[in-house]
Structure 1
């Protein structure tokens, strides 16, 4: 019985670390990934977006895995949906969005 208690005490720190990693790293990352997937599913024409490269643009076409983004007047590029990092509200200036962060 005494050796069983000693084994449990040796495993307790490891189990505590696993639980901490789950709640501090894994769970928040899963939540962020789910929010990103929801954001991508709700993309619509006319949304102002920020790409992972920092390029700003407006969505002009939405397909299954790609979107058409107008980055300048008359310049449209095809972008993989996963590269969109943020959707900004229509007409929201960049300075107002930076003040929120």
Structure 2
């Protein structure tokens, strides 16, 4: 009995069940294609756009820009390197080296 079911299973999948062959395997794959499309347009694509905007923001950093890191540290950019920046974080001259990818937002220019 089980062997009969296993032999009939591939034809059942190819015809979409029953004897009517109007749906076939495409009828089975349609929900998966729709789910993939929803994930692409509502999750993956917006994330790519946010990442691109963040990279553009980081690439435009200049000396004197006010920044906030993802850890909540506020500072003023003093030097921009390839992968990091040197930021002054208080009026006593304390400086921190911060990865560019750790920058959450960029404000305007410092008025010194």
TM-score bracket, shorter-length normalisation: 0.7 to 0.9
Unaligned stretches of 5+ residues in structure 2: 1-14
TM-score, normalisation: structure 2: 0.76
Counterpart check, 1:67 vs 2:85: yes
In the other structure, the counterpart of 2:60 is 42
Q: How many residues align?
A: 91
In the other structure, the counterpart of 2:35 is 17
Counterpart check, 1:32 vs 2:59: no
Shift of 1:5: 1.8
Shift of 1:4: 5.5
Q: Choose between structure 1 and 2 for higher RCO, CA contacts under 8 A separated by at least 6 residues.
A: 1
* 1:9-36 Cα distance to aligned partner (Å, 9 max, x none): 1111110000000000000000000001
After superposition, the CA RMSD in angstroms is: 1.5
